[in-house]
């Protein structure tokens, strides 16, 4: 147990935790990926805001141990997660994380490392380069946590059980071979899961799995379908800070998102 966690262990009372979901950090987002691409400048301001408000980054492993009643967490914990493993994570996110002394969790794809985000061609008409294994190892060496995002980014609920098992179990094995470390954390591609996928994730040895159900992760959140907060690429710093006012219900998050959209569209006559 590290010093901060032991200081805060107070009987390991389970606390709500905001798990932020990022995808790409880049100085120049592609227009069709704007919702998922946070600029380097905005990301730096968000980390500055978190640090100024006393938020301490923790890992999924720390959350798992906390929710299992083993360890406490520092006051004001926050988890930063990055889905898909874009190459920009090493180039643009990692230097800002290091400068602000933050650590994050990167979910990468077993079969697509060093390739491109092929699934986005049909969905959004673009491809973005992905981290290769050396780059993923560099993130791990910098103190970040790596987890699985499956093999090839399919909708898991549309696969038969054998193919789903291959996505979840094979990706864990490939990551373990490449990183020399046990892989225990997963993020479902597209946040797509159901009871069957959840059961296969458990059988495949994952301790946590992130969904894209929106909101803070409550103390009784399902460890294999964790809630997250989508950091919208077009949101302002105020929109970002709004996520931390208190735990909000999905309905409140939806209202805030539509308000932010109205602000961006400007007054309409």
Residues in contact with Zn ion by the rule CB under 5 A: 83-84, 189
Nearer to Zn ion, 5 or 225 (CB): 225
At closest approach, how far in Å is the CB of 37 from Zn ion? 13
CA distance 221 to 36: 24
Nearer to Zn ion, 77 or 189 (CB): 189
Which residue in 5, 139, 4, 145 sits closest to 65, CA to CA? 5
Cα of 220 vs its chain's centroid, Å:
19
At closest approach, how far in Å is the CB of 158 from Zn ion? 15
Nearer to Zn ion, 74 or 147 (CB): 147
At closest approach, how far in Å is the CB of 187 from Zn ion? 7
Which residue in 114, 118, 159 sits closest to 133, CA to CA? 114
Residue nearest to Zn ion (CB): 83
At closest approach, how far in Å is the CB of 23 from Zn ion? 7
Angle formed at CA 223 by CA 111 and CA 245, multiple of 5 degrees? 105
Which residue carries 């961006």 as its tokens? Answer: 264
CB 27 within 8 A of CB 39: yes
At closest approach, how far in Å is the CB of 82 from Zn ion? 10
Tokens of 41: 């400048």
CB 132 within 8 A of CB 114: yes
> What angle, 0 to 180 degrees and rounded to 10, lies between the N-to-C axes of helices 133-141 and 171-179?
70
At closest approach, how far in Å is the CB of 106 from Zn ion? 12
Exposure string over 218-253, b if 16+ CB within 10 A, otherwise e: eeebebbbbbbbbbbbbbeeebbebbbeeebeeeeb
């Amino acid at each position: 147990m590290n010093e901060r966690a032991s200081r805060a262990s107070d009987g390991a009372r389970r606390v709500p935790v905001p798990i932020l979901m990022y995808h790409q950090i880049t100085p120049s987002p592609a227009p069709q990926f704007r919702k998922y691409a946070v600029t380097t400048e905005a990301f730096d301001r968000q980390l500055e805001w978190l640090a100024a408000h006393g938020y301490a980054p923790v890992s999924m492993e720390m959350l798992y141990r906390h929710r299992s009643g083993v360890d406490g967490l520092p006051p004001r914990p926050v988890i930063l997660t990055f889905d898909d493993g874009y190459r920009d994570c090493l180039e643009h996110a990692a230097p800002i994380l290091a400068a602000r002394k933050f650590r994050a969790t990167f979910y990468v794809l077993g079969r697509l490392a060093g390739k491109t985000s092929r699934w986005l061609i049909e969905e959004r008409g673009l491809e973005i380069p992905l981290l290769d294994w050396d780059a993923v190892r560099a993130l791990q060496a910098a103190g970040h946590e790596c987890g699985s995002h499956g093999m090839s980014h399919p909708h898991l609920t549309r696969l038969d059980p054998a193919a789903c098992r291959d996505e979840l179990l094979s990706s864990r094995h490939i990551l373990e071979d490449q990183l020399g470390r046990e892989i225990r954390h997963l993020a479902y591609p597209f946040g797509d899961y159901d009871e069957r996928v959840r059961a296969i994730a458990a059988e495949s040895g994952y301790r946590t799995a992130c969904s894209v159900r929106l909101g803070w992760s409550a103390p009784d959140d399902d460890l294999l379908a964790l809630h997250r907060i989508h950091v919208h690429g077009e949101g302002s710093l105020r929109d970002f800070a709004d996520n931390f006012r208190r735990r909000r219900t999905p309905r409140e998050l939806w209202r805030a998102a539509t308000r932010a959209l109205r602000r961006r569209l400007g007054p309409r006559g």
